[in-house]
Amino acid sequence: MKIYRLIDANINRVSEGLRILEDIARFVLENKALSKDIREMRHIVRKSFTNHSLLIFRDSQNDIGLNISQNSRLDAKKAVSDLISANFKRVQEGLRSIEEALKILGYFNESKIYEALRFKSYDLEKKFSIRKTLPDTDIYGILGEEFSAGKSNIEITKEMIKANIKIIQYREKNKSKCDKLKDCQAIRKITSVNDVIFIVNDDIDIALAVKADGIHIGQKDMPIEIVKNIASDMIIGLSTHNQKQALEAVEKGADYIGVGPIFNTSTKKNLEKCDGLSFLKWVSENISIPFVAIGGIKESNIATVKKHGGKYFAMISELVGSENIVKKINLIRKKLY
Number of residues that bind ligand 3NM (CB under 6 A): 15
Decide whether 3 or 331 has the Cβ nearer to ligand 3NM: 331
Decide whether 22 or 159 has the Cβ nearer to ligand 3NM: 159
Shortest approach of ligand 3NM to residue 174 CB, angstroms?
Answer: 14
Q: Is 296 a binder of ligand 3NM (CB under 6 A)?
A: yes
Q: Is 258 a binder of ligand 3NM (CB under 6 A)?
A: yes
Question: Comparing C-alpha atoms, which of 297, 322, 321 is closest to residue 311?
Answer: 297
> Judged by CB under 6 A, which of 187, 265, 292, 313 binds ligand 3NM?
265
Q: Is 294 a binder of ligand 3NM (CB under 6 A)?
A: yes
> Judged by CB under 6 A, which of 94, 295, 309, 310 binds ligand 3NM?
295
Q: What Cα–Cα distance (Å) separates residue 256 from each residue in 5, 88, 252, 267?
A: 46, 25, 11, 22
Would you say 132 and 81 are in contact if contact means Cβ atoms under 8 Å apart? yes
Q: Is 317 a binder of ligand 3NM (CB under 6 A)?
A: yes
**Is 42 labeled as ligand-binding?**
no
Which residue of the set 90, 118, 180, 268 is catalytic?
268
Q: How deeply is 276 buried, as exposed, middle or buried, from its count of CB atoms within 10 A (0-12, 13-18, 19+)?
A: buried
Q: Please state the φ and ψ torsions of residue 159, each to the nearest 5 degrees.
A: -65, -40
**Is 316 labeled as ligand-binding?**
yes
Give the C-alpha separation, 34 to 220, whole Å.
41
Shortest approach of ligand 3NM to residue 95 CB, angstroms?
Answer: 46
Peptide bond into 261 cis (omega under 30): yes
> Judged by CB under 6 A, which of 268, 308, 312, 322 binds ligand 3NM?
268
Q: Is 261 a binder of ligand 3NM (CB under 6 A)?
A: yes
**Is 302 labeled as ligand-binding?**
no
The answer to whether residue 171 is catalytic is yes
The answer to whether residue 111 is catalytic is no
Query: Can you say whether the dihedral through the CA atoms of 267, 221, 201, 82 is positive or negative?
Result: positive
Give the C-alpha separation, 294 to 314, whole Å.
5
CA atoms within 13 A on the CB side of 259: 31
Give the C-alpha separation, 321 to 20, whole Å.
48
**Is 239 labeled as ligand-binding?**
yes
Residues 181-240 that bind ligand 3NM (CB under 6 A): 239
Which residue of the set 171, 180, 188, 328 is catalytic?
171
Give the C-alpha separation, 67 to 79, whole Å.
25
Shortest approach of ligand 3NM to residue 224 CB, angstroms?
Answer: 15
Q: Is 315 a binder of ligand 3NM (CB under 6 A)?
A: yes
Residues contacting 195, CB < 8 A, separation 6+: none
Residues 14-33 that bind ligand 3NM (CB under 6 A): none
- Angle subtended by helix axes 80-104 and 108-128, to nearest 10: 170
If one counts every other C-beta atom within 10 angstroms of the C-beta of residue 75, the result is 10
What residues are designated binding site?
169-173, 201-202, 221, 239, 265-268, 296, 316-317
Residues that bind ligand 3NM (CB under 6 A): 239, 258, 260-261, 265, 267-268, 294-297, 315-318
Mind telling me the catalytic residues? Answer: 171, 239, 268
What residues are designated binding site for Mg(2+)?
202, 221
